[in-house]
A and B are shown apart, each in its own frame.
Chain A
Amino acid sequence: MTESQKTTPAINLKRVTRFYHTGGHWFAPAGTTVTALNQVDLRINTGEIFGLVGESGSGKTTVARLMVRLERPDEGSIVYEGEDIAKMRGERLSRFRRRVQMIFQDPYQSLNPYQSVQRIVGEPLAIHKAKSGAERKEQVIDTLAQVGLTPAETYLHRYPHQLSGGQRQRVAIARALILEPSLLIADEPTSMLDASIAIQIYDILSEVQRQRRVTMLFITHSLAAAHFLCDRVAVIYRGHIVETGPAKSVIANPRHPYTQALLDALPKFGHLWGGRRFDTLRSEPRSTSSTNGCPFFSRCAPADPGLCDNQQPPLKEEDDQHGVACFFAE
């Protein structure tokens, strides 16, 4: 990666907030509002693999859905190549839809069971009216070969039920790649797969990134996977980015108590820092009525009641350096 690429953002989330309204139906007449994302700033640089790490319910999939404009932010803006995606119309929007592609979590649900591999992978070309029939087929074959489905011709007329989970996910990747996107969003692409198959998917993703210089957002719950694959990572907790920085640095020197708790919770087997412990997780969560404080306050052992439950610590980050949203991180 060159210096100039490092500093150009491919996509930029600026103070993005997203609410979901729940309830308001027969069982729960009083609707409540859940803040899925709270003032999230996220900058993904051109050509990098950026990892977004968080537990279920932390808001990571919401980030993905906002970035491909399946949803719109309630506050803030998302800027893709210098343009606010909410304001895109017509040809600009169509181009955006071509250039930004997504790989979903579950290849058992994201592929149409009635379509052949050729149809599934070639469909984006047909939708965007790119190329003639013969050229399309050729490009489908090329793309299948690139994701390791070789000889590609033998896969063209197969249907999803004839493929293993790993092969399905490769088909999903080929489908996302065929329009030659500049930004690829992979939402937990391996959570349904065995570890040995997951490794192959990571290999394909990093190979694709290397060859096509595509920018990638990799969403995962696994710090180990993020460490393995990503250049930079952000850790998200309850809709707040709590720590961000170069993947190696965040994992070797985690500074937010939540990131530290995540590392504590990993199985110790085979880990370099097997004996290292931070003990930042409270066994009994504190009860707190305040909603203004740090999102991790109720479970944070080193937190300072009076400060941490009344004020939200800002995320301090300079350039691409290691940033952390905690009053106590030096």
Chain B
Amino acid sequence: MDCLLEIKNLTISYRTGGGHTTTAVDDVSLTLSKGESLGLVGESGSGKSTIGAAIMGLLPRNAEIVSGEILFNGENLLQTDAEALRQLRWKQISMIFQSAMNALNPIQRVGNQIVEAIRVHEPETSPAQALERVEMLYHQMGIPVERLRHFPHQYSGGMRQRAIIAMALACNPQLIIADEPTTALDVIVQDQILKTILALQKKLSLGIIFISHDIAVIADMCHHVGVMYAGQIVEIGSSEEVFATPGHPYTQALLDAHIILSDDGKAPRAIVDHSIDTAEVERGCRFAPRCPLVKSKCRETAPQWLKRSEKHWIRCPMAPAGSPEK
């Protein structure tokens, strides 16, 4: 299948004042094919959102890309000049933000905002054509068309998030970065939004990078999953395989911490509450201080990638040799 996005050995650090730097993303590589979705899952501070921002070219000013490449349709976005990147953004790659309230201009009618977004990126489109397209998008998203004339504060939270998605789709992008798109929403609304995203993805064969801390949402939504811990991807593979036969102890811990509605009353095990400063762990495995399987060599040498199956890789030599059973 055609490769839409390829990230090679991406390392990003933040300057944190006083001459210190923190590595937020460390040697991350991943690929995404056209029409497929990849979920990035991990705790807050694991670097998932930084990757999303790097793809969009929207890193904060104190961030520095230390090394690596981000290839979009074969073109390295990190080498692209600002104007070309601006052209690419929204038209080819767009983003659904977490906070729908802050992503819309409160003093402009929502319809006008989306029309404007289209016209900025496609100056040849007439306002009438743009409006027609927005009406169609609203129809797809299940928002009444008369809502276009309303202001953001007149929308409910779920409807605002739908409008954000409509805006992200307005220029027919090939890739969407969805950064916790439903985190602030109630479960029924979340379910409706996720279903809409899934349906649109199939219909328009969108590539999606889906960033979330909720493994259940990722498992339901994504073809592939990358589990992130302290700036690194520690396990990557097809969702089905990773969640059925997790290899990395951190993935296992995340799954254990996920409360499920089951009757057997199996108590989840807790991960030791321990925030990791990446500067502390220089040589060994990042997860070593919290890992139940830790051996002395884990603290000495950084773990290498191990193949578990054709599409399932882990970064842990201690994981029980598991061949996918199911």
Q: Whole-angstrom distance between the alpha carbons of A283 and B188 in the complex?
A: 11
Q: Which of A56, A167, A272 contacts B262 (CB 8 A)?
A: A272
Total count of chain B residues near the partner, CB < 8 A: 36
Given known contacts A199-B270, A203-B270, A223 and B214 CB-to-CB distance under 8 angstroms: no
Total A-B contacts with CB atoms under 8 angstroms apart: 106
Segment of A117-125, A189-197, A303-311, A321-329 engaged in the interface with chain B: A189-197
Q: Are the CB atoms of B261 and A200 closer together than 8 Å?
A: no
Q: Which of B186, B194, B257, B259 contacts A221 (CB 8 A)?
A: B186
Segment of B5-13, B26-34, B216-224 engaged in the interface with chain A: B216-224
Q: Which of A167, A196, A281 contacts B257 (CB 8 A)?
A: A196
Chain A, range 251-268, C-beta contacts under 8 Å to B: 251-252, 261-268
B282, CB-defined interface residue at 8 Å: no
Q: Are the CB atoms of A271 and B187 closer together than 8 Å?
A: no
Q: Are the CB atoms of A267 and B217 closer together than 8 Å?
A: yes
Interface-central residue, A167, A194, A202, by most chain B CB under 10 Å: A194
Total count of chain A residues near the partner, CB < 8 A: 41
B243, CB-defined interface residue at 8 Å: yes
Q: Are the CB atoms of B261 and A269 closer together than 8 Å?
A: no
Chain A, range 236-278, C-beta contacts under 8 Å to B: 248, 251-252, 261-273
Q: Are the CB atoms of B190 and A269 closer together than 8 Å?
A: no
Interface-central residue, A228, A248, A267, by most chain B CB under 10 Å: A267
Contacts of A198 in B (CB 8 A): 257
CB-nearest residue of chain B to A258: B188
Q: Are the CB atoms of A223 and B261 closer together than 8 Å?
A: yes
A213, CB-defined interface residue at 8 Å: no
Q: Are the CB atoms of B261 and A55 closer together than 8 Å?
A: no
Q: Are the CB atoms of A55 and B187 closer together than 8 Å?
A: yes
CB-nearest residue of chain A to B194: A267
Q: Are the CB atoms of B188 and A272 closer together than 8 Å?
A: no
Contacts of B43 in A (CB 8 A): 194, 196-197
Contacts of A197 in B (CB 8 A): 43, 271, 273
B263, CB-defined interface residue at 8 Å: yes
Q: Are the CB atoms of B260 and A224 closer together than 8 Å?
A: yes
Q: Are the CB atoms of B261 and A195 closer together than 8 Å?
A: no
Given known contacts A196-B43, A265-B188, A164 and B273 CB-to-CB distance under 8 angstroms: yes
Q: Are the CB atoms of A56 and B216 closer together than 8 Å?
A: no
Q: Which of A167, A195, A224, A227 contacts B254 (CB 8 A)?
A: A195
Q: How far is the CB of B240 from chain A (nearest CB, A)?
A: 11
Chain A, range 158-203, C-beta contacts under 8 Å to B: 164-167, 194-200, 202-203
Q: Whole-angstrom distance between the alpha carbons of A228 and B271 in the complex?
A: 17
A86, CB-defined interface residue at 8 Å: no
Q: How far is the CB of A259 from chain B (nearest CB, A)?
A: 11
Interface string of B12-29 (1 = CB under 8 A from A): 000000000000000000
Q: Are the CB atoms of B260 and A272 closer together than 8 Å?
A: yes
Given known contacts A269-B215, A270-B216, A262 and B261 CB-to-CB distance under 8 angstroms: no
Q: Are the CB atoms of B254 and A267 closer together than 8 Å?
A: no
Q: Are the CB atoms of B220 and A269 closer together than 8 Å?
A: yes
Q: Are the CB atoms of B259 and A224 closer together than 8 Å?
A: yes
Contacts of A225 in B (CB 8 A): 259
Q: Are the CB atoms of A224 and B261 closer together than 8 Å?
A: yes
B275, CB-defined interface residue at 8 Å: yes
Q: How far is the CB of A206 from chain B (nearest CB, A)?
A: 9
B44, CB-defined interface residue at 8 Å: yes
Q: Are the CB atoms of A164 and B275 closer together than 8 Å?
A: yes
Contacts of B255 in A (CB 8 A): 270
Q: How far is the CB of B132 from chain A (nearest CB, A)?
A: 24
Given known contacts A167-B273, A199-B268, A203-B270, A261 and B188 CB-to-CB distance under 8 angstroms: yes
Interface-central residue, B216, B259, B260, B268, by most chain A CB under 10 Å: B259
Contacts of A267 in B (CB 8 A): 191, 194, 214, 216-217, 219-220
Q: Are the CB atoms of A196 and B271 closer together than 8 Å?
A: yes
Contacts of A202 in B (CB 8 A): 259
Q: Whole-angstrom distance between the alpha carbons of A199 and B259 in the complex?
A: 8
Contacts of B214 in A (CB 8 A): 195, 267
Interface-central residue, A55, A270, A272, by most chain B CB under 10 Å: A270
Q: How far is the CB of B9 from chain A (nearest CB, A)?
A: 27
Interface-central residue, B157, B220, B261, B263, by most chain A CB under 10 Å: B261
Interface string of B43-85 (1 = CB under 8 A from A): 1100000000000000000000000000000000000000000
Q: Which of B253, B259, B269 contacts A228 (CB 8 A)?
A: B259
B258, CB-defined interface residue at 8 Å: yes
B213, CB-defined interface residue at 8 Å: yes
Contacts of A263 in B (CB 8 A): 261
CB-nearest residue of chain A to B267: A203
Q: How far is the CB of B172 from chain A (nearest CB, A)?
A: 26
Interface string of B263-294 (1 = CB under 8 A from A): 10001111101010000000000000000000
Contacts of B215 in A (CB 8 A): 195, 269
Q: Whole-angstrom distance between the alpha carbons of A197 and B275 in the complex?
A: 11
Q: How far is the CB of A203 from chain B (nearest CB, A)?
A: 6
Q: Are the CB atoms of A266 and B187 closer together than 8 Å?
A: yes
Q: Are the CB atoms of A268 and B220 closer together than 8 Å?
A: yes
Q: How far is the CB of A204 from chain B (nearest CB, A)?
A: 10
Q: Are the CB atoms of A196 and B220 closer together than 8 Å?
A: no
CB-nearest residue of chain B to A203: B270
Contacts of B191 in A (CB 8 A): 264-267
Residues of A with Cβ closer than 8 Å to B? 55-56, 148, 164-167, 194-200, 202-203, 221-225, 227-228, 248, 251-252, 261-273, 281, 283
Residues of B with Cβ closer than 8 Å to A? 43-44, 142, 157, 186-188, 190-192, 194, 213-217, 219-220, 243, 253-255, 257-263, 267-271, 273, 275
A-B contact pairs, 26 of them (CB 8 A): A56-B157, A56-B186, A164-B273, A164-B275, A165-B44, A166-B273, A195-B259, A196-B43, A197-B271, A199-B259, A200-B271, A200-B273, A224-B261, A227-B259, A228-B259, A251-B261, A263-B261, A265-B187, A265-B188, A265-B190, A266-B187, A266-B216, A268-B216, A269-B219, A270-B258, A270-B260
